[in-house]
């Protein structure tokens, strides 16, 4: 059986992080979830640098990015990932607080895979990831046994 | 007219002119000469004939003198005087007959007669000599006997008379011939005199016409010159004519007014000294020399001049003019005063700069507003989201029984949070509408309305709604925001007819040619509103109906007004409670571009 890949969640707001993690938990996914507290932390995790230098090797199944974050915002992380040949292929879902059109347009321009408006509704999230084409291959690993 | 023209230009070839002069002058002169010589010949002949007849009469009289003296001698033989008379008469006879022979050499008949007379005269002389011998010997009787023979006397008289008659006849004949010739020449000379007269009157007539024409041309030329001078002097643009050395030859009053307002003499002075040296610019002078020598025109050479009459911006134009004789060239220079234009341009530039800085200010404040609304949409929504989400979680974790009061409170908290989220979203949309660019592409309103009706399908489910939509045509505008207009107006029509058993929604279009605008109308048969509150209709968060009755945040019509205003149109409505509502909006045929909008 292949190793179940991690879902990386980058979210600075602890309440939003809690809600997202709850939603993922409710979806009963087997994937472990890593939580980065801002964009720079997320990039460190992806590149196994800084605080995450010692983490086991392996790309995440998907990166969930909040937009407004300190140090480096989600769109900047997305831009850097798409310019980095090592990270370019990783699916990215933007979790936005708003329906702000400019955010949506910039996200698409930067090559986002899906865009979900918070609070994260699990069904909404799944349909977005399904649309991504990765649902079965990436996320729909065997559910955690009840 | 054309011949006249040719004449006036001296068109007749020289040869023809000479021939004409010969015809009217030389020929009559020649005829006159002929006439004169003919007359002289006739006079000569008369003189000649009188000479001939005179000599003949002298001959007769000297013969008679000799006869008489001889007769007297027979009567007085001692009178020696008589012998002398006889000798003299005989000498005269010989002279006369010799002269006659010479004079009649031209006429054979008369010469013959003279010869006959000479023979007779000689025989008579012989007879007389014998009479004189008889007288000398004293035989007077025999002498008288010889003298009595009258035959020779009569014969001599007849011969001389015949000779004279013949000479007279000859003269008459010659005079007749001469007379005939003179008659002919006289006719010819009269004819030519008439011709001369005709020719002269023709010449005089032509000369008069030419003179008239010349006078006419002179008058025209003088008028044209006067008009040109008038234009030159009246025109307000300074004009100056320069010679090859760039000295002033002539100038108009406008030039003097600007460059020599003190009235100082300008003509003859070099251009660069005039007006306090405002023309003394190396570049300009070089260009003017190029105009003069290379024939290049000088176009709109701009100068800023400190003239004696004030500061000026001028456009200098110059071109070469061939001199009248073609051997020299003049320069015509004009100086158009464009100070006012330049001043206006400077003002426009200043205004533009000011406007640009204002635009920059507006852009800056727009950017700030953008940042503010961005921040609002993200940060203001976060606590709301948490209220809603965690209230929901609380409810789930409490697992309250159905109908519990706490469950109702939880519901109110989540609904309120959701409603506030919607209000924030709508407010942000409204705020953004005031700032985003309004496009001006062709918009198919029929397609747009059909699309919006499709979007509103959920609101129509299970209802009886009659749509009456007329063709709406195309407009110039921004399809994205116009879609929002239809969404709001049709959405409202659906919303406020929700309680009607049979809803009727009419959508129509009219073109107001006078105002050059399209007018769209949405009419429904819903609850309508009181016209007393029509002013509140298009305000933000203004509602004419309680939210419990009709859903909505009260910002839709404010958005409609903002969008329509930004297209350069208007929006208005009419209604009465229970009688349905009618909304109109107009769009200009040609969009005015993105206009500012000051509505809050």
**Torsion angle of C-alpha atoms B446, B449, B455, B456, degrees rounded to 10:** -140
CB contact under 8 A, A15 and B374: no
Handedness of CA A49, A51, A53, A56 (dihedral sign): negative
Chain segment B513-538, per-residue pLDDT in tens: 898 899 999 999 988 888 888 888 88
Taking the C-alpha atoms of residue A9 and residue A17, their distance in angstroms, rounded to an integer, is 8
Q: Give the pLDDT band of residue B450 (cuts 50, 70, 90).
A: very high
Are the C-beta atoms of B109 and B173 separated by less than 8 Å?
no
Task: Report the candidate in B268, B214, B271, B215 with the shortest Cα–Cα distance to residue B238.
Answer: B271
List the beta bridge partners of residue B571.
B585
Residue B180 and residue B443: Cα distance in Å, rounded?
118
Delimit the domains of chain A by residue range.
Answer: 7-139
Residue A143: pLDDT band with limits 50, 70, 90: very low
In B, minimum Cα distance to A16 occurs at B386
CB contact under 8 A, B382 and A100: no
Q: Which residue, B555, B505, B498, B548, is CA-closest to B527?
A: B498
- Give the pLDDT confidence score for residue A144 in this predicted structure: 42
Q: Which residues of A touch B432 (CB under 8 A)?
A: 101
Nearest to B392 by CA among B411, B408, B420: B411
pLDDT digits (tens, 9 = 90+) for B192-248: 888 888 888 988 999 999 999 999 999 999 999 999 889 988 988 999 999 888 899
Instruction: Tell how many helices (H) and how many strands (E) occur in chain A.
Output: 5, 5
Query: How far is B135 from B436, CA to CA, in rounded Å?
Result: 181
Fold for domain B438-588? Answer: Heat Shock Protein 90 (3.30.565)
Q: Does the beta-carbon distance from A119 to B425 stay under 8 Å?
A: no
DSSP run (H or E) holding B484: helix B479-496
State the number of CA atoms in the 13 A half-sphere of B269 facing the CB: 17
Measured distance CA(A55)–CA(A106) in Å, rounded: 31
Domain extents in chain B: 2-205, 237-337, 343-435, 438-588
| pLDDT at residue A126, as a whole number | 65
**CA gap A78, A104 in Å, rounded:** 13
Mean pLDDT of B240-266: 89
From the candidates A16, A22, A65, A100, which should be mutated to test the interface with B, based on the most B CB atoms within 10 A?
A100
| Chain A with chain B: Cβ pairs closer than 8 A | 36
Q: Is the pLDDT of residue B583 over 80?
A: yes
**Residue B262 pLDDT grade (very low, low, confident, very high; cuts 50, 70, 90):** confident
CA angle, A129 then A134 then A139, to 5°: 80
Express each pLDDT in B163-191 by its tens digit.
888 888 888 888 888 788 788 878 888 88
Nearest by CB to A119, which of B378, B389, B428? B389
Burial code (b: 16+ CB inside 10 Å, e: under 16) for B195-227 equals ebeebeeeeeeeeeeeeeeeeeeeeeeeeeeee
pLDDT in tens, B1-44: 444 444 444 556 778 877 877 777 787 788 888 888 888 888 88
Under DSSP, the state recorded for B24 is I
The winner for highest mean pLDDT among A25-29, A132-136, B19-23, B213-217 is B213-217
- The per-residue pLDDT for A75 is 92
Question: If you average pLDDT over residues B581-599, what whole number do you get?
Answer: 71
Q: How confident is the model at residue B22, as a pLDDT? A: 75
Cβ separation B385–A119 shorter than 8 A: yes
Encoded tokens for B239: 């004009």
If one counts every other C-beta atom within 10 angstroms of the C-beta of residue B449, the result is 22
Please state which of the ranges A10-19, A63-72, B422-431 shows the lowest mean pLDDT.
Answer: B422-431
**B521 touching chain A per CB within 8 A:** no
Q: What digits encode the pLDDT tens for the residues A68-85? A: 888 888 999 999 999 999
- The predicted-structure confidence for B556-568, as pLDDT tens digits, reads as follows 888 899 899 988 8
Q: Which two tokens stand for residue B305?
A: 């001049």
Indicate the average pLDDT of chain B. 84
How far the first Cα of chain B sits from its last, in Å, is 87
Query: At how many degrees (to 10) do helices B80-103 and B27-75 cross?
Result: 160
Rounded average pLDDT over B533-554: 73
CA dihedral A119, A123, A124, A126 (to 10 degrees): 120
For residues B536 and B348, the model is more confident at B348
Query: Which of the listed CATH numbers 3.40.50.720, 3.60.150.10, 3.30.2350.10, 3.40.50.2300 matches domain A7-139?
Result: 3.40.50.2300
CA B329 to chain centre: 23
Q: Which residue has the tokens 């309103």?
A: B445
pTM, two decimal places: 0.47
Buried b (16+ CB within 10 A) or exposed e, A39-53: bbbbbbbbeeeeebe
Contacts of A26 in chain B (CB under 8 A): none
Mean pLDDT calculated for residue range B76-105: 86
Bridge-partner residues for B474, per DSSP? Answer: B444
Identify the CA nearest to B317 among candidates B349, B291, B345, B286: B291
Percent of chain B with pLDDT over 90: 21
pLDDT digits (tens, 9 = 90+) for B44-55: 888 888 888 888
User: Residue B517: helix, strand or coil by DSSP?
Assistant: strand
CATH fold of B237-337: Beta-Lactamase (3.30.450)
pLDDT tens figures, A90-130: 888 888 877 777 788 888 899 888 888 876 666 666 666 65
User: In the CATH scheme, what is the code of domain B2-205?
Assistant: 1.20.120.1730
Residue B382 has pLDDT above 80, yes or no: yes
Please give the Cα distance from B46 to B175 (Å, whole number): 8
Distance CA B476, CA B589 (A): 7
In angstroms, the CA B218 to CA B4 distance is 17
In this prediction, residue B425 carries a pLDDT of 80
């Amino acid at each position: 059986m292949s190793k179940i890949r991690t879902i990386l969640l980058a979210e600075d707001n602890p309440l939003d992080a809690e809600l997202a993690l709850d939603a993922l938990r409710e979806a009963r996914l087997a994937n472990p979830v890593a939580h980065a507290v801002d964009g720079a932390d997320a990039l460190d995790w992806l590149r196994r640098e800084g605080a995450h230098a010692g983490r086991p090797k392996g790309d995440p199944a998907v990166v969930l990015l909040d937009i407004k974050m300190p140090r480096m915002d989600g769109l900047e992380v997305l831009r850097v990932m798409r310019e980095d040949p090592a990270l370019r292929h990783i699916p990215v879902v933007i979790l936005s607080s708003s329906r702000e059109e400019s955010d949506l347009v910039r996200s698409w321009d930067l090559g986002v895979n899906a865009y979900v408006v918070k609070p994260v509704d699990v069904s909404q999230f799944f349909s977005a990831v399904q649309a991504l084409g990765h649902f079965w291959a990436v996320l729909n690993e065997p559910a955690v046994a009840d | 007219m054309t011949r006249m023209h040719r004449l006036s230009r001296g068109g007749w070839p020289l040869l023809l002119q000479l021939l004409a002069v010969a015809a009217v002058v030389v020929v009559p002169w020649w005829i006159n000469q002929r006439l004169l010589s003919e007359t002289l010949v006739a006079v000569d002949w008369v003189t000649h004939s009188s000479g001939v007849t005179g000599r003949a009469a002298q001959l007769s009289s000297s013969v008679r003198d000799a006869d008489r003296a001889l007769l007297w001698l027979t009567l007085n033989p001692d009178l020696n005087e008589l012998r002398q008379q006889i000798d003299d008469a005989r000498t005269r006879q010989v002279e006369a007959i010799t002269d006659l022979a010479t004079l009649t050499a031209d006429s054979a008949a008369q010469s013959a007669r003279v010869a006959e007379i000479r023979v007779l005269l000689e025989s008579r002389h012989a007879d007389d000599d014998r009479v004189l011998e008889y007288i000398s010997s004293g035989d007077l009787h025999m002498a008288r006997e010889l003298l009595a023979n009258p035959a020779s006397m009569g014969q001599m008289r007849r011969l001389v008379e015949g000779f004279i008659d013949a000479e007279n006849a000859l003269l008459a004949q010659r005079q007749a011939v001469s007379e005939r010739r003179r008659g002919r020449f006289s006719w010819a000379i009269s004819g030519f005199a008439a011709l001369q007269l005709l020719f002269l009157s023709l010449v005089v007539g032509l000369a008069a016409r030419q003179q008239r024409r010349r006078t006419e041309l002179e008058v025209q030329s003088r008028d044209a010159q006067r008009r040109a001078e008038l234009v030159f002097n009246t025109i307000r643009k300074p004009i100056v004519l320069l010679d090859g050395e760039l000295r002033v030859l002539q100038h108009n009053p406008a030039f003097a007014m600007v460059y020599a307002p003190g009235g100082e003499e300008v003509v003859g002075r070099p251009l660069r000294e005039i007006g306090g040296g405002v023309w003394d610019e190396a570049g300009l002078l070089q260009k003017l020399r190029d105009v003069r020598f290379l024939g290049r025109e000088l176009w709109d050479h701009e100068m800023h001049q400190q003239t004696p009459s004030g500061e000026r911006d001028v456009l200098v134009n110059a071109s070469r003019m061939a001199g009248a004789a073609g051997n020299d060239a003049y320069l015509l220079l004009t100086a158009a005063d464009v100070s006012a234009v330049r001043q206006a341009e400077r003002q426009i530039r200043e205004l533009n700069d000011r406007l640009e800085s204002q635009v920059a200010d507006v852009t800056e404040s727009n950017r700030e507003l953008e940042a503010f609304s961005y921040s609002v949409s993200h940060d203001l929504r976060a606590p709301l989201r948490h209220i809603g989400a965690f209230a929901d979680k609380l409810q789930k974790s409490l697992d309250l029984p159905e109908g519990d009061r706490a469950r109702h409170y939880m519901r109110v908290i989540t609904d309120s949070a959701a409603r506030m989220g919607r209000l924030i979203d709508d407010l942000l949309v409204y705020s953004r509408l005031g700032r985003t660019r309004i496009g001006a592409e062709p918009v198919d309103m029929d397609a747009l309305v059909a699309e919006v009706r499709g979007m509103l399908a959920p609101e129509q489910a299970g209802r009886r709604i009659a749509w009456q939509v007329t063709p709406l045509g195309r407009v110039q505008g921004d399809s994205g925001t116009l879609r929002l207009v239809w969404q709001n107006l049709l959405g409202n029509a659906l919303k406020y007819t929700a309680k009607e058993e049979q809803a009727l929604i009419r959508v129509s279009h009219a073109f107001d040619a006078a105002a050059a605008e399209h007018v769209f109308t949405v009419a429904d048969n819903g609850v309508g509103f009181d016209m007393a509150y029509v002013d509140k209709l298009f305000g933000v968060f203004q509602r004419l109906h309680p939210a419990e009755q009709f859903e909505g945040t009260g910002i839709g019509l404010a958005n409609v007004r903002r969008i329509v205003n930004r297209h350069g149109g208007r929006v208005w409505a009419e209604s009465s409670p229970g009688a349905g509502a009618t909304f109109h909006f107009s769009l200009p045929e040609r969009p005015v571009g993105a206009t500012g909008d000051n509505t809050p």
